[in-house]
């Protein structure tokens, strides 16, 4: 059964207790947003997600989107309940939560916004894509669009009246955007006419908003070849009249929707542009730079999808493990008054549940860390802090995207396993989590691409400056707490993982200079090693906070005690993976690249 209660206490812990020493907090721009206001927002978001979005999650999956041919062209109809849910979502101000106040947004911290995103994704990941794409488009337009474009388009996108999409992929090119063929020619009125076809466009067509603002990559007539010849354009579904209202249908159409493994209530569209009017965003031939602003925002958002699904899968598995009776405990009957014990008494079921729980809490801790950096990157008063935050965000974005989605999919798979045969059939609802989670490892740049980005760009950038933003706080924490006897097991485990990570970093840097394939062969293992070390750092800090609270007689002993138990499981059973990552990296590319192509 799909069941979910927002983990508000753990969210408050990650927001208010875990990262107070990271240097990214106490921002003057957010002084008015105190804990009471943040709590109220989280509680209201939880109500909306649990009462409005969760009930239409499975029904939306069963029904899917409808591709229809009408008198004025093609359209896409979302499943029953989605339009009303989106209306409530927009009217409740959730589309404007973290958007700039200048354009009608509420300007709340990203650290809070990401917690709300997690709840939305946990209850209905298909629904999350509609406002999620708009949020990414807003990021790109805010950073690169002209003042005129901003004034025309941003207010109604922020309000949720209009939505956004990202149009990159073409049938012959996905990651290799240098091959794209969509053309843009000057229209003589300051705009451009775009012609071409795009595929796999999330939220490219739907019935939730009165207009859709597409951000489209295309080539100008005199553009150089490759990625240096790509420009970004704003192309609306409807052109506006003199009063700024949608009026004339533009030359952009959905020609089909994809029939997918999961996220079936999200419209994934094939789009055709035929002399569609558009306006240049940013400078000519520098569109990829602008689009990456959107993509990087989306990559963190996709990581949050993995965390949200992981939490929903965990809670559904816990419910079943407590409800399903089967066999007796190996230590003797734990519930002798019942016909059998619930399966939660069995060690292997506990292994699966604790693995999911540790993944979720660890990812939530890292998510809160990068979210605070996202806020500091925008709002810190001094340039040094802004640069430090930007470096950290750049380093951790591929880690959040890839690791969170890998672990979210694994959690969904474990949930199916906990249910056994009942998990494999549709009625239980947990198989949907598995299907929905799978795409998150693919779109917005596959997880393999994220790993290559980490080792190929981020690791070496500015002579290793990005890495120092991660290495220094971890090293300082280990040194500062080396003499704490209570923390000793956690500090020792973190130190071993950190030293292995340093060894891998040095190894890849040296080998990669001589042979780029060595870095490529190590990339996926290195990303996981860094991500698990980041989770270990957050868990060690969690234990320190929890132990301090317990020593002071906190009235939340159960919560803080559970924090320590979960951290112990992570250090005992999950963190040792970092050693195997190191050994795999050390083995090099040899066995991976030995076979001739024809031998496969």
| pLDDT > 90 in the chain, percent | 94
Alpha carbon distance 59, 56 (integer Å): 5
Q: Which secondary structure element, helix H or strand E, spans residue 271, and what is its range? A: strand 268-281
CA-based nearest residue to 413, from 392, 436, 385: 436
Per-domain residue ranges of the chain = 8-143, 146-154+161-291, 460-593
Alpha carbon distance 226, 151 (integer Å): 32
pLDDT of 581 reads 98
Predicted model pTM: 0.97
Q: What is the CATH number of domain 146-154+161-291?
A: 2.40.110.20
pLDDT of 72 reads 65
Q: Which secondary structure element, helix H or strand E, spans residue 67, and what is its range? A: strand 66-70
Residue written as token pair 């009942």: 422
DSSP label of 223 = P
CA distances from 208 to 78, 89, 138, 160, 211 (A): 8, 11, 17, 9, 9
Alpha carbon distance 79, 130 (integer Å): 13
| HEC readout, 559-587 | HHHHHHHHHHHHHHHHCCHHHHHHHHHHH
pLDDT of 230 reads 95
CA-based nearest residue to 73, from 295, 248, 261: 248
Q: Are 19 and 25 in contact (CB under 8 A)?
A: yes
Residues of the chain with pLDDT under 70: 70-73
Q: Are 233 and 168 in contact (CB under 8 A)?
A: no
pLDDT of 265 reads 98
User: What one-character-per-residue DSSP string does 175-194 give?
Assistant: S-GGG---EEEE-SSS-EEE
What are the catalytic residues? 444
CA distances from 151 to 164, 247, 360, 592 (A): 16, 18, 40, 53
Q: Which CATH number fits domain 8-143: 1.10.540.10, 3.30.1330.100, 3.10.129.10, 3.30.70.1290?
A: 1.10.540.10
């Amino acid at each position: 059964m799909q069941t979910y209660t927002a983990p508000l206490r753990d969210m408050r812990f990650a927001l208010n207790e875990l990262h107070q020493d990271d240097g990214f907090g106490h921002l003057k721009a957010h002084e008015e947003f105190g804990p009471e206001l943040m709590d109220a927002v989280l509680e209201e978001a939880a109500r909306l997600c649990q009462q409005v979005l969760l009930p239409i999650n499975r029904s939306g999956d069963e029904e899917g989107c409808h591709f229809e041919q009408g008198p004025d062209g093609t359209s896409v109809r979302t499943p029953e309940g989605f339009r009303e849910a989106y209306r409530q979502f927009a009217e409740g101000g959730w589309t404007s939560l973290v958007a700039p106040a200048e354009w009608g947004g509420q300007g709340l911290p990203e650290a809070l916004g990401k917690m709300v995103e997690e709840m939305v994704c946990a209850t209905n990941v298909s629904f999350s894509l509609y406002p999620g794409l708009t949020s990414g488009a807003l990021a790109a337009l805010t950073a690169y669009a002209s003042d005129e474009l901003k004034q025309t388009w941003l207010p109604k996108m922020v309000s949720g009246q209009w939505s956004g999409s990202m149009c990159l992929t073409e049938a012959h090119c996905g990651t290799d955007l240098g091959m794209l063929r969509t053309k843009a020619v000057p229209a003589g009125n300051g705009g451009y006419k775009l012609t071409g076809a795009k595929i796999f466009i999330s939220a490219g067509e739907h019935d939730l908003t009165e207009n859709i603002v597409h951000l489209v990559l295309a080539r100008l007539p005199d553009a150089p070849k490759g990625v240096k010849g790509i420009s970004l354009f704003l192309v609306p579904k409807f052109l506006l009249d003199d009063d700024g209202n949608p009026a004339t249908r533009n030359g952009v159409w959905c020609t089909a929707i994809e029939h997918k493994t999961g996220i079936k209530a999200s419209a994934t569209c094939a789009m055709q542009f035929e002399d569609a009017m558009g306006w240049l965003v940013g400078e000519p031939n520098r569109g990829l730079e602008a689009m990456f602003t959107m993509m990087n925002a989306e990559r963190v958002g996709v990581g949050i999808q993995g965390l949200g699904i992981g939490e929903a899968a965990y809670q559904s598995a816990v419910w079943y493990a407590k409800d399903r009776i089967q066999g007796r405990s190996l230590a003797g009957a734990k519930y002798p008054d019942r016909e059998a014990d619930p399966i939660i008494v069995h060690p292997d079921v506990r292994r699966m549940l604790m693995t999911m729980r540790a993944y979720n809490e660890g990812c939530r801790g890292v998510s809160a860390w990068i979210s605070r950096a996202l806020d500091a990157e925008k709002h810190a008063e001094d340039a040094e802090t802004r640069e430090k935050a930007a470096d950290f965000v750049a380093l951790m974005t591929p880690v959040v995207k890839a690791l969170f989605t890998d672990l979210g999919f694994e959690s969904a798979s474990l949930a199916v396993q906990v249910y056994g045969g009942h998990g494999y059939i549709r009625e239980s609802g947990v198989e949907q989590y598995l299907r929905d989670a799978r795409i998150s490892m693919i779109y917005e740049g596959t997880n393999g691409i994220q790993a290559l980005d980490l080792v190929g760009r981020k690791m070496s950038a500015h002579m290793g400056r990005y890495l120092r933003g991660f290495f220094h706080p971890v090293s300082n924490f280990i040194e500062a707490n080396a003499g704490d006897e209570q923390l000793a097991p956690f500090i020792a485990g973190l130190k071993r993982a950190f030293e292995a990570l340093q060894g891998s970093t040095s190894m890849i840097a040296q080998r990669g200079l001589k042979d780029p394939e060595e870095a490529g062969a190590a990339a996926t293992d290195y990303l996981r090693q860094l991500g698990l070390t980041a989770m270990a750092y957050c868990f060690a800090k969690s234990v320190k906070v929890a132990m301090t609270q317990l020593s002071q007689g906190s009235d939340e002993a159960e919560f803080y005690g559970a924090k320590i138990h979960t951290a112990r499981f992570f250090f005992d059973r999950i963190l040792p993976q970092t050693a195997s990552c190191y050994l795999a990296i050390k083995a090099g590319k040899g066995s991976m690249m030995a076979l001739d192509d024809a031998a496969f």
